[in-house]
Structures are given as C-alpha cells and as structure tokens.
Amino acid sequence: MSVCGNNCRQTLRRRSAGSGPKAQRDRHPESIQQNPEGCALNAGESKSILSRRLFARGAAAAAAIVFISTLWPGSAQTPQQQGRNDDYRKYYDFNAYDRTRRDARPATSRTVQKTLAEYFHEGDMVEIGCGDGELARLLPKSMLRQLIQTDVFPELLKENPFDTRKMVVDVYDMPFRDGEVPGIISIEVLDALFNGRKVVEEIHRVLKPGSPMIAFFDMQPSHEITMEIFPEDILFPTIRQLPGTIKLDGRSYYLKVNRGELLRALDQHKSRLDPVESAALRSYMNSPARQYAGIFGKGGTETVAAIERLQRILDALEVKHEVINGVESYTKHLLKLLGETGFLVEEAGFRTSAAVVQKSDLPDLTSDCNFLEYSMGFSAENKDPGLSPGEVKVESTIYVIAARKMTESKTFSVQK
C-alpha cells in the first residue's frame, strides 16, 4: 500500500507571487528603476509613466518591459516565508510541476483558452506569479501578444523563454495605479500565498471597474495555506482511496480537530496514552505545517504508517473530528474573500477538456494505456477501445474562478 505520488505539490516548493505588507518603495524618489530605454525613473513616476507604456498599443507594446524592484521582507513574515524569497531555487521545483503537467497540457490548454476567450474580449492580461511560464505554454501566439507576465523573482523572468512583456511585481504591492489594469489572470498562484485577503484587496485596487480576474487551479492547494484558513483548528493528514483506482490519496483530505478540544483531551487522557505517542502528537500540534511536510517526505509505507499512527492516537482520545477536502475548503474561502472585497463571481467550479494526441507525443507514457485522466495534480491511466492504434486520449480537470470587479455593491454573490 502506497500513497499516490502523482500529486507534485511539494512541501515548501510552491510558487509565490510576492511577499510582505504594503512597501513604501513606490513613494520614495530615491528608489530608482529602469525603463526600457535605460533612463532612470523614480518610483513615483513609474506608477504613471511606466504603466502607460506597459499598456500602450502598437510597436511599443511588443517591447519587453522589465520593472526592477526591491524585495521587501515585511515585518509580518516568518523566517520560513522570508526563506522562500531569499532563495527561490531551494524551494521551487518547477521540474516536478512540469512532469505532472506535461502530458495534460493538450487538454488543459483547451480549458484555459476557452475560458479566457469568454471573459477577455479586448485589452491586456496581467499574469501574476508567472513563474517559468506555465500559463504561457497553454496559450496561442495571438493571446501571448495580450499577456504581461509578472513575478516577484527577477531570476525567473530572466529565464522565462516566452516573448512577452515582463515585470517584476510583488502581488501584495503592485506598481499600478488604482483602477488601471484591464484584467488579471493566474494559474496555481493564489492558493500558494499567505494572507489571501491582502492579495485579493490589491487585485481589486488595481483592476478597472468591471474587469475580470481569472484564476486557474490545477494542483491541490498548499497545505500551509489550507491550514491558515483554520486558525482555531489542527489539520491532520488522512488517507482515502481514489475512486475507481487502487491508488491512495493522502493530499486532498484532512482531519480537522479543534485545538482547544484536543488539548483538553490530551490532559484528560494523559495517563492512558503512551508517553512517546503523546509527545508525537504534541510535536505535530506545535508545528503542524512542518510535521505534515515531514510525514509526506518519508514516502511510501513510512508515510502511511505515520498517518495511521496519528489517527490511532486521535481515536484513542475520542476527540471530535471532521474530514475536509482541501480544494473545497480553499475555494470556499477564496470565494468569500472575493465577495467581501467587491467582486461579482461569475463562475466557480471544475472544467474538464479532452484532446486526442499521438502516443509518440507523450514520451513519459510507457504503459499500453491510451486514456490518461488528470485532475488537480492526480493522474490515472486507463484504456479506451474506441481509439485508433497510436492514439491517446488526454482528459484534464481543473478548477476555474472567474470574477469581475464591481463598481458599487460589495454584496457577495455567485452568478448562476
């Protein structure tokens, strides 16, 4: 028995689009940036001059515009969060993401392109947290001309191979004026950022009234961000069998236990518990995100054994618990933030697309299966007798949220 390894959401290897609270760099004239012509712009000027150039049409719009800014750590950051900014290579395994997404792209691209075509009829699309260019890989050249890629890491933008306009942008403090941006898009970014409310508020600030914000999710939400949603509870890993397969899913679900009730149960039953097991449980409670990462870092049967051990302890304590789904919990939380901030949510749910490709186009496929199903970081291989020899059907399911900045009312609603 082993935990399914096809979900590549690696511990502390997440994409981040920014960090820290509102920085003051945009108000300091001594903070110097460079425009495409090499002339120095102070930060105050960059908000207007650079932004006008960024969204200009014609020949100037084809130029790559790079906005160089300082990464501000922010007083609210933990050393763990700051570490991700200091050395992104230490925490970001884009190769792991690529391995999981590669075969699904023919189908995923259909969902992404269809969605963007429905909500973007004109104007530029600003992508936050572009990383190494996953979203750009899914777009045709015609859409790339509308795309402005941004990320907090200058190194990633330099390595990004796509011929697009680029900016270094901290998503918590974007260098745009209020109501200036015609649209914002992202893939697998919002669920990897701490302080989601601050991110949503900043997106709302820079968007033009009535403009769309489209967020794609093709992986499981970060366990750290999921845990941040439930500050009064402890989330424990649990294992469930994936429907229709023999694979075990140890990443999609959690056991949610109230912290206070768990502490009271520990004190009440401490004489019944083995001291080693009691220490193990308290250790997990003290740093659940790190302990969760350590459990899945073991891999295989060791991971299963560690999870089962924690569940035995919780059963012995007879403490109330609830099984929650990570995607469901995070998206519900995000939709609430969007509604409270002043967005009209027009779509929120799963979209599935399929494509038929040649097996020779999928070098990682070594089995005789010809039907690949991908869903939120998990994959399954099956057979479709209706396909011709050498053909492979690829099906991809991702979660899509489409919202528009409202002009007046801030009442939460989801358009049906």
Instruction: Say whether pLDDT at 92 is over 90.
Output: no
pLDDT band at 100 (very low <50, low <70, confident <90, very high): confident
Average pLDDT over residues 263-291: 90
199-247: pLDDT as tens digits = 999 999 999 999 999 999 999 999 999 999 999 999 999 886 555 554 5
What average pLDDT does range 72-94 have in this prediction?
Answer: 43
What band does 85 get if pLDDT is binned at 50, 70 and 90? very low
Q: Residue 176: pLDDT above 50?
A: yes
Looking at the DSSP bridge assignments, the partners of residue 255 are 236, 323
Percent of the chain with pLDDT over 70: 72
What whole-number distance in Å separates Cα of residue 406 and Cα of residue 416? 17
Residue 382 clears pLDDT 60, i.e. is over it: yes
Owner of token pair 């796509």: 162
Closest C-alpha to 102, from 412, 374, 416? 374
107-111, 119-123, 253-257: which range is least confident on average? 119-123
- As a whole number, mean pLDDT of residues 77-106 equals 61
Structure tokens at 407: 């002009």
Percent of the chain with pLDDT over 90: 57
The model's pTM is 0.78
Q: How high is the pLDDT of residue 235?
A: 97
β-strand partners of 294: none
Cα angle 273, 277, 280; round to 5:
140
Q: How far apart are CA 284 and CA 278, in angstroms?
A: 10
Instruction: Give the whole-angstrom CA distance, residue 230 versus residue 247.
Output: 28
Per-residue model confidence (pLDDT) at position 274 = 87
- Report pLDDT for 70: 25
Fold assignment, 25-217 = Rossmann fold (3.40.50)
- The confidence score (pLDDT) of residue 96 equals 67
Q: What is the pLDDT of residue 87?
A: 47
**Poorest-pLDDT segment among 290-294, 361-365, 402-406:** 361-365
Q: Which of these, 167, 165, 177, lies nearest to 59 by C-alpha position?
A: 165
pLDDT at 121: 85
- Identify which of 340, 324, 309, 330 has the alpha carbon closest to the alpha carbon of residue 399: 330
Q: Compute the CA torsion angle 299, 304, 306, 309 (nearest 10 deg).
A: 180
138, 219 Cβ separation under 8 angstroms: no
pLDDT recorded at residue 363: 84
349's torsion region: left (phi>0), alpha (psi -120 to 50) or beta?
left
Going 272 to 274 to 277 to 283, the CA torsion angle's sign is positive
d(CA 337, CA 39): 40
**Residue of 292, 327, 233, 306 whose CA lies nearest to 11:** 292
pLDDT level of residue 334 (50, 70, 90 thresholds): very high
Inter-residue contact 192 to 218 (CB < 8 Å): no
Residue-wise pLDDT tens digits, 28-49: 222 223 333 322 223 333 333 3
User: Which residues pair with residue 401 across a beta bridge?
Assistant: 215, 348
| pLDDT of the residue at 21 | 33
The domain spans of the chain are 25-217, 224-324
pLDDT beyond 50 at 409: no
**Out of 46-60, 142-156, 163-177, which region has the weakest mean confidence (pLDDT)?**
46-60
d(CA 13, CA 97) in angstroms, rounded, equals 10
Mean pLDDT across the chain, nearest whole number? 78
Residue pLDDT, tens place only, 279-316: 999 999 999 999 999 998 888 889 888 998 998 899 88
**pLDDT, average across residues 176-198:** 95
48 or 335, higher pLDDT: 335
The radius of gyration computed from the CA coordinates of the chain, to the nearest angstrom, equals 23
Give the mean model confidence (pLDDT) for residues 65-82: 32
Least confident of 5-9, 92-96, 313-317: 5-9
Of the candidate ranges 86-100, 137-151, 317-331, 378-392, the one whose mean pLDDT is the lowest: 86-100
Read off the tokens for 334: 């995000």
